[in-house]
Homo-oligomer: A and B are copies of this chain.
Amino acid sequence: MQTYVPPIDDYRFLMTQVLDFDRAMADIGMEVDGDLAATILEEAGRMCAQRLQPLNRTGDEEGSRLIDGAVQLPQGFADAYREFAEAGWASLSSDPEHGGQGLPFVLQLWLDEMLSATNLSFGLIPGLTRGACEAIKAHASDPLKAVYLPPMVRGEWTGAMALTESGAGTDLALLKTKATPKDGDNYAVSGTKIFISSGDHDIGGNIVHLVLARLPDAPAGVRGISLFLVPKFLPDASGAFTVRNAMSVGALERKMGIHAQPTCVMNYDGATGWLVGEPHKGLAAMFTMMNAERLMVGIQGLGIAGGAYQQAAAYARERLQGRSADGTRGPVPIIEHADVRRMLLSVRAFVEAGRALAGWTALQLDRAHRHPDAAERGKADAFVALLTPVVKAAFTDFGFESAVQAQQVFGGHGYIREWGMEQYVRDARIAQIYEGTNGVQAMDLVGRKLALEGGAVAQGFFDLIAADLEGQGAPIAAATRDALQLLRDATAALRGADADALGAAAVDYLRLFALVAMGWMWARMADAATKGGTPLHSAKIAVADFFAGRMLPQVKGLAAALSAGAQSIMALPDDAF
């Protein structure tokens, strides 16, 4: 039976000693201090550990089911979701104007970490609802907002993003779903969408689909896509949402993992919808939704890695196999074996740096939304834009690798379903794919984000790291300084590169970037820890040393690979593959 201990001590350490949370809140005029934040996270963590963790394995076994056209979540999910929403967790960071609690986004992201650690399939339900709310808030008309936002923010209604079609995934220019004007302000939406998370379920309440479709007069390509709000239930004459819209679940996708999550094939058969934003500007509206989701997806990788770590560390302390290094004792707990420690440390070194970097990025997002000074808002917003693809792709890559390492600690038992470790691996895998594959994220980083303000945003980020490291003498600070130089060189080499060169570099470059950013966070944590003296502080220094010595050196290989350029990648003719 898997258990989960919410990492509240670590959040507290990050807030009070690493990220200067109170000052960050004061800067943006929020009355939340580290103590209150920790109390909220503690409460959230209790809910995740006690309510959601126990449903994770049963949800995987049972899966969502399609019965007579309606989706049934695994047993216990609908009840748990209603409790979750009633306790206010669905609206933690939402705008108070629409009934949200208006807490900082950093708390939301750490809640997302705990949700993902305990039950990713479940966490996607409120997560996608929040993304849909963002898009509605930013782009929908006031009447639509007034009707849809309050119940969605409260979590009584949920949201779904209906973008992908079988022929249009990464390339939305190819999408074929149509919307034709009907009476009044609404449209008839027709088409089939695939991979629709939370497309249907039995929680009750409306399900609000945001659907990308083409208007009759739409130009070809991505400039001809519009976004429509298509609810499962339409209002009847009395205004109650009781009338089934002309949309149906074609099938549940049969997936490698996240079995409890009802990922649907959706058919829209002239379903009534309303335009969100301007005609043909659907892609911009969708990106509002996607950007919020992408940070969340990165955090999913982090959460799963953290959950898997806890199981693996506990197992390694208990499982007796082999003799001590000096041969005098045996059998010993496998945690005594260096290679088992290496595996655990590589997971932990990612998880704790990722948690810190997620916190830093989320604080920038809060700053971008709330700082009184527009220049500060702009600067913070640019950092978030820069880091979004890094968090999405690197955290999900390291998250998957971490799940695999944690599974490996269990040996043969790791391959057996009952132990639950293989579920982490299967569930973690999706996060590298959805909301834009990690290759697409990497292209976004090298193509768009490095070019922000003519390269000044990335430059500014690197300078910030350099300034932080200045004067620090710990091994992690020195190692990160060296790695930063490799990153600066790689960045300079990409300036003016053509599309093939960017594409050939993208994934390796993103990983190099992420390792430097994690090194930076380890340097900050190690520096803070030298002022402490508790076991947590000693552990931070030990793990920082591990990261510096055993993980960060990956940057050397990545930098060397990048310097080899695109030539060998483009040489082979297409038909010779």
Contacts and interface: CB of A to CB of B under 8 A. Distances in A.
Given A550-B564, A561-B551, A335 B577 contact: yes
Interface stretch (A145-153, A209-217, A423-431, A465-473): A423-431
Contact of A437 (B404, B408, B506): B408
A504 B574 CA distance: 42
Contacts of A507: 339, 342
Nearest to A312: B577
A550 to B, nearest CB: 5
A321 B168 CA distance: 7
A560 B568 contact: no
B326 A504 contact: no
B577 A255 contact: no
A418 interface: yes
A321 to B, nearest CB: 4
A35 interface: no
A172 B507 CA distance: 42
Interface of A: 164, 167-171, 173-174, 194-195, 253-257, 313, 316-317, 320-322, 325-327, 330-331, 333, 335-345, 348, 400, 404, 407-408, 411-418, 422, 425-426, 429-430, 432-434, 437-439, 442-443, 498-504, 506-508, 535, 538-539, 542-543, 545-546, 548-551, 553-558, 560-561, 564-572, 574-577
Most B-side CB within 10 Å, residue of A336, A416, A418: A416
Given A539-B572, A549-B564, A574-B336, A330 B173 contact: yes
Contact of A340 (B414, B439, B557): B439
B443 A339 contact: yes
A411 B425 contact: no
Most B-side CB within 10 Å, residue of A411, A432, A501, A535: A411
Contact of A341 (B327, B499, B569): B569
A139 to B, nearest CB: 25
Contacts of A322: 170-171
B503 A337 contact: yes
Nearest to A338: B503
A343 B437 CA distance: 13
B557 A417 contact: no
A330 B337 CA distance: 54
Given A432-B408, A553-B557, A503 B339 contact: yes
A439 B341 CA distance: 11
Contacts of A569: 338, 341-342, 345, 546, 550
Nearest to A577: B313
Question: Ordered nearest first, which 10 A-B pairs have the shortest CB separation?
Answer: A338-B503, A549-B564, A557-B557, A553-B560, A256-B422, A171-B321, A325-B499, A545-B568, A546-B568, A556-B556
Most B-side CB within 10 Å, residue of A254, A341, A543: A341
Nearest to A348: B577
A254 B426 contact: no
B253 A416 contact: yes
A405 to B, nearest CB: 10
Nearest to A333: B574
Given A321-B171, A325-B503, A342-B507, A412 B195 contact: yes
Nearest to A254: B417
What copy number does this chain have within its complex?
2
Contacts of A556: 553, 556-557, 560
A317 B574 contact: yes
A196 to B, nearest CB: 11
A317 B575 contact: yes
Contacts of A566: 338
Contact of A504 (B174, B330, B342, B437): B342
Most B-side CB within 10 Å, residue of A337, A415, A418, A437: A415
A325 B498 contact: yes
A568 B539 CA distance: 11
Contacts of A336: 574
A422 B256 CA distance: 6
Contacts of A539: 572, 576
Contacts of A333: 574
A480 to B, nearest CB: 14
A514 to B, nearest CB: 14
B417 A576 contact: no
Nearest to A407: B429
A331 B171 contact: yes
8 contacts: A167-B320, A335-B574, A342-B503, A342-B504, A542-B576, A543-B572, A546-B569, A553-B558
A317 B577 contact: yes
A418 B549 CA distance: 43
Given A342-B507, A412-B433, A576 B256 contact: no
Contacts of A442: 339
A439 B408 contact: yes
Contacts of A432: 408
Contacts of A555: 557
Most B-side CB within 10 Å, residue of A167, A336, A433: A433
Contacts of A422: 255-256, 426, 429
